[in-house]
Amino acid sequence: DIQMTQSPSTLSASVGDRVTISCRASQSIGTWLAWYQQKPGQAPKLLIYQASTLETGVPSRFSGSGSGTKFTLTISGLQPDDFATYHCQQYDNKWTFGQGTKVEF
C-alpha cells in the first residue's frame, strides 16, 4: 500500500503568514493527490484535487503543487478561518491519507 507522510505534524503561524505543508508518497502517484481542510467537529472539506486544481468556491490563497512523490499545499496570507487541520490524500491505488497537519496560532 502507498503510504503518505505529511510534515510538519503541527505548525504555529500568525494571521498573514505564508504557510507551506508538505506531503510525500511512498511511491509515485503522478498528480493523483487531494488536500482537505478539517475543523474540530466538522467534516473534511475538499480544497484541491489533481495536486493543483482548486475546488470551486475555495479561496485563491490556497494553492497546491507537486507530482510523483512530493507535494505541497501553500496558504498565501493565512486568515483566521484557516486555523485547522489539513490532510493530504492519494488516489492512485485505493485511497490513503496523510496523518494530518494542524495549523495553530
Q: Which parts of this chain interact with other proteins (CB under 8 A)?
A: 1, 32, 34, 36, 42-46, 49-50, 55, 87, 89, 91-92, 94-100
For the CB of residue 50, give the shortest distance to other proteins in the complex, in Å.
7
From residue 20, how far is each of 5, 42, 43, 48, 92 by CA, in Å? 14, 23, 22, 14, 23
Q: For residues 17 and 55, which CB has a smaller minimum distance to other proteins in the complex?
A: 55
Cβ distance to other proteins smaller for residue 9 or 74: 9
What is the spatial distance between Cα 95 and Cα 43, in angstroms, rounded to a whole number? 17
CB 60, min distance to other proteins, A = 18
Shortest distance, position 15 Cβ to other proteins, whole Å = 26
- Residue identified by cell 491519507 is 97
In the complex, minimum distance from the CB of residue 14 to other proteins, in angstroms, rounded to a whole number:
25
Q: Is the peptide bond before 8 cis (omega within 30 degrees of 0)?
A: yes
Q: CA 16 to CA 6: how far, in whole Å?
A: 23
**Which residue's CB is nearer to other proteins, number 78 or number 88?**
88
